């Protein structure tokens, strides 16, 4: 931690050094949290596998971080796909944190990005985009994560 009170890496960029719980909430420095995920982008199929694995163990915030790393590193044409997937995970995170309003807003943004991407010829990497959008819309209507 620097004298400004913010955690920084060796290059001076802000980095959260505090441990986090499974939903990404910061914990006190002296506690043990979940294992952080790498900020390095993975290839598309590895990104999806990692995100699915994190979702399977109840870590939608970490899944979002993996997808966000890909979103920031992907070809321009694929950004709506990766951004939409990351926002789906943040929407689930908000829902599980008990914030239905935040969940609905993020899921609406996610469905917008994914719907726009579904109208392109871009790769889907085996994802059923229409199914993801339908499930997200169901979550929006009920404000409960699936």
pLDDT in tens, 113-139: 999 999 899 999 999 999 999 988 888
The answer to whether 89 and 121 are in contact (CB under 8 A) is no
Give pLDDT, residue 130. Answer: 93
Same domain, 108 and 132: yes
Residues near 63 by beta carbon (within 8 Å), at least 6 away in sequence: 50, 51, 52, 54, 55, 89
Give the pLDDT score at 143: 61
Does residue 48 sit in the same domain as residue 30?
no
Do 49 and 7 belong together in one domain? no
Q: Measured between alpha carbons, how far is 100 from 67 in angstroms, rounded to an integer?
A: 22
Identify whether residues 87 and 117 lie together within a single domain. Answer: yes
Instruction: Quickly list DSSP for 86-145.
Output: HHHHHHHHHHHTT-HHHHHHHHHHHHHHHHHHHTS----TT--HHHHHHHHHHHHHHTS-
pLDDT at 6: 61
Of residues 6 and 2, more confidently modeled: 6
User: Does 118 lie in the same domain as 62?
Assistant: yes
Asked if 49 and 106 sit in the same domain, the reply is: yes
| Residue 8: per-residue pLDDT | 64
Q: Give the pTM.
A: 0.85
Backbone angles phi and psi of 2, in degrees to 5? -95, 175
- How many Cα neighbours within 13 Å face the side chain of 143? 8
Instruction: Give the three-state DSSP class for 14.
Output: strand
Would you report the helix, strand and coil content of the chain in percent, each value rounded to 5?
A: 55, 5, 40
Same domain, 26 and 61: no
Neighbouring residues of 137: CB distance < 8 A, sequence distance ≥ 6: 107, 111
Residues 30 and 96 in one domain: no
Domain that holds residue 120: 44-142
Model pLDDT, residue 7: 63
- Say whether both 5 and 49 belong to one domain: no
Residues 51 and 96 in one domain: yes
- The reply to whether 58 and 117 lie within a common domain is yes
Domain co-membership, 62 together with 133: yes
Per-residue pLDDT, 142: 74
Percent of the residues in the chain that have a pLDDT greater than 70, as a whole number? 86
For residue 145, pLDDT beyond 50:
no
Q: Domains in the chain: how many in total?
A: 2
């Amino acid at each position: 931690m620097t004298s400004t009170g913010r955690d920084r890496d060796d290059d001076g960029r802000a980095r959260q050094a505090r441990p986090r719980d499974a939903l990404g909430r910061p914990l006190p420095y002296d506690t043990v949290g979940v294992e952080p995920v790498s900020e390095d982008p993975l290839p598309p199929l590895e990104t999806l596998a990692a995100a699915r694995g994190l979702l399977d163990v109840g870590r939608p915030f970490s899944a979002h971080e993996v997808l966000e790393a890909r979103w920031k590193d992907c070809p321009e044409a694929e950004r709506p796909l990766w951004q939409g997937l990351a926002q789906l995970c943040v929407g689930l995170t908000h829902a599980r944190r008990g914030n239905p309003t935040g969940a609905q807003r993020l899921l609406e943004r996610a469905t917008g990005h994914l719907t726009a991407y579904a109208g392109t010829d871009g790769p889907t990497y085996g994802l059923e985009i229409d199914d993801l959008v339908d499930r997200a819309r169901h979550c929006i209507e009920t404000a409960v994560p699936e």
